[in-house]
Amino acid sequence: MRRTTLAAALIAFIVLPGAAAWAEGPSGSTEDDKREVKCGEGTDTPAGRMYAGANGVEACSDSGEAPDGRIIVDFSGQYASVDGDPTNGENANGFIRLDPSGPSCGNDQNYDSSKGAGGDCP
């Protein structure tokens, strides 16, 4: 189960490069005031830092080279989000979040996917 979850997170990280949470992820990852991610705990791999725990799973990259960002599946918060750093470029930054209320996307007013739903997705 853990390998399947990590594989799904890794695939999503590669396939869905665009989406910015300004939040603490399950691994303890954070974003600074420029919305750049800083990875938390986990195992370093060629694809980034991978984390799996009782509170959720996360794939994170803060190498400074695109794609940088996080994929979060938060079991306690009951949401999943994909976020990308602004340095990734126009089509690979911002966030998309899926929770029981449905999908939402980040915008200038709401760029913190951990605080709840964002705005409408284009």
Q: Mean per-residue pLDDT for 93-112? A: 85
Range of the domain at 77: 2-115
122 assigned to some structural domain: no
121 assigned to some structural domain: no
Give the whole-angstrom CA distance, residue 100 versus residue 9. Answer: 19
Tell me the range of 29-38, 45-54, 58-67, 103-112 where mean pLDDT is highest: 45-54
pTM: 0.75
Q: Mean per-residue pLDDT for 5-18? A: 40
64 assigned to some structural domain: yes
120 assigned to some structural domain: no
Number of domains in the chain: 1
66 assigned to some structural domain: yes
- Which of the pair, 36 or 17, is modelled with greater confidence? 36
Question: Omega of the bond prior to 17 within 30 degrees of 0, cis?
Answer: no
97 assigned to some structural domain: yes
Query: Tokens representing 45?
Result: 């791999």
Mean pLDDT in the chain?
Answer: 79
105 assigned to some structural domain: yes
Looking at the predicted structure, is the pLDDT value of residue 4 above 50? no
Q: Mean per-residue pLDDT for 34-60? A: 93
Query: Tokens representing 39?
Result: 């990875």
Q: Cα-flanking dihedrals φ and ψ of residue 12, to 5°? A: -65, -35
